Amino acid sequence: MTTATRALALALVLACGCGAAQAQLIKDTEARKAIADLDAQFKAGAADIEARAAARKAETDQLAEQLAQLRKSIAEIGAEIGKLQEEAVRMRAGRAETLNRVAGLRSQLDEEQKSFTARLAALEPVTVSTEAGDFLLAPEEARQHDEAMQLMKAADYERAAAALGGFARRFPGSEVLPSVRFWLGNAQYALKNFNEALGVFRAMVASAPEHPRAPAAGLAIANCHVELKNLPAARKALEDVMRQYPNSEAAATAKERLALLRG
């Protein structure tokens, strides 16, 4: 073998040895990295376990505190129950007397309640319906109004006139007075008390010219004048209806009657 050949062979041997050493070095580095990763994972897991353990301990401590408070509350309730039991024992001694007193007070309260309810009912407003709408009246006022109107509906004109006249005198400020006057005038007219009816109808129109029955009351005034043989006054009453209520049915009726009176 020549010197050159030996040198080449030696170089090949050295090259192979270096490659093997480098490969071993790479394996060692990867192993260390894997160990480091495992160590980090272990430490993270240990930290998580410690945190959970701390949270569990805090929860346990809180439950222990709540349990202690509950036991304290139970003890206090037990003491209160003991006091109530003692009080109950004392109360049983006078139970019969207490029951009698309670029964008496309850009876008294019932009587006072009934009396109060009766007084309240006497003051409770009552709804009354008229041609002009619904009105709230005092009970006695409403009662007298309804009784008078029932007599009017029954054509009991004499008693109706007395009842309606009595209502007007007793309740001169009533909200239903215009309606009462209208029907009082009709009752007097039916009884042929034309002067009385005339006065009532005039008062009704003068005090409540916007009332739904005012145009009819104007016609009634004309009728009263006709019955009293005062035709000029009757014509003027009809003209007043036509002037004051030009768009009403009463105005049309007044026009027809006026034509008859003039004819």
Q: Which helix (H) or strand (E) holds 128?
A: strand 126-130
Structural domain span for residue 252: 126-262
Q: Based on the fold, state whether residues 217 and 170 are members of the same structural domain.
A: yes
Q: Would you say residue 168 lies in a domain?
A: yes
Q: Give the model confidence (pLDDT) of 191-216 as tens digits.
A: 999 999 999 999 999 999 999 999 99
129 phi, psi to nearest 5 deg: -100, 135
pLDDT at 88 over 70: no
Q: Would you say residue 69 lies in a domain?
A: no
Residue 122 has what pLDDT? 59
Confidence of residue 9 (pLDDT cuts 50, 70, 90): low
Q: Based on the fold, state whether residues 98 and 226 are members of the same structural domain.
A: no
Q: Based on the fold, state whether residues 102 and 209 are members of the same structural domain.
A: no
Q: Based on the fold, state whether residues 238 and 131 are members of the same structural domain.
A: yes
Residue 89 has what pLDDT? 78
Residue type, 185: G
Q: Would you say residue 50 lies in a domain?
A: no
Collapse the DSSP code of 125 into the 3-class scheme (helix H, G, I; strand E, B; otherwise coil) and give the result. Answer: coil
Q: Based on the fold, state whether residues 255 and 190 are members of the same structural domain.
A: yes
Q: Can you tell me the mean pLDDT for 143-165?
A: 98
Q: Would you say residue 47 lies in a domain?
A: no
Of 46-50, 90-94, 113-117, 182-186, the least confident: 113-117
Q: Can you tell me the mean pLDDT for 24-38?
A: 78
Q: Would you say residue 196 lies in a domain?
A: yes
pLDDT at 20 over 70: no
Q: How many structural domains comprise the chain?
A: 2
Q: Can you tell me the mean pLDDT for 219-239?
A: 97
Q: Based on the fold, state whether residues 115 and 223 are members of the same structural domain.
A: no
Residues 6+ apart with CB under 8 A from 171: 141, 144, 177
Q: Based on the fold, state whether residues 139 and 236 are members of the same structural domain.
A: yes
**CA atoms within 13 Å, Cβ hemisphere of 12:** 6
Residue 17 has what pLDDT? 60
Q: Give the model confidence (pLDDT) of 245-260 as tens digits.
A: 999 999 999 999 999 9
Q: Can you tell me the mean pLDDT for 95-116?
A: 70
Q: Which of 97, 122, 147 is the last residue in one of the domains?
A: 122
What single string gives the DSSP state of each residue in 244-261? H-TTSHHHHHHHHHHHHH
Residue 44 has what pLDDT? 83
Q: Would you say residue 37 lies in a domain?
A: no
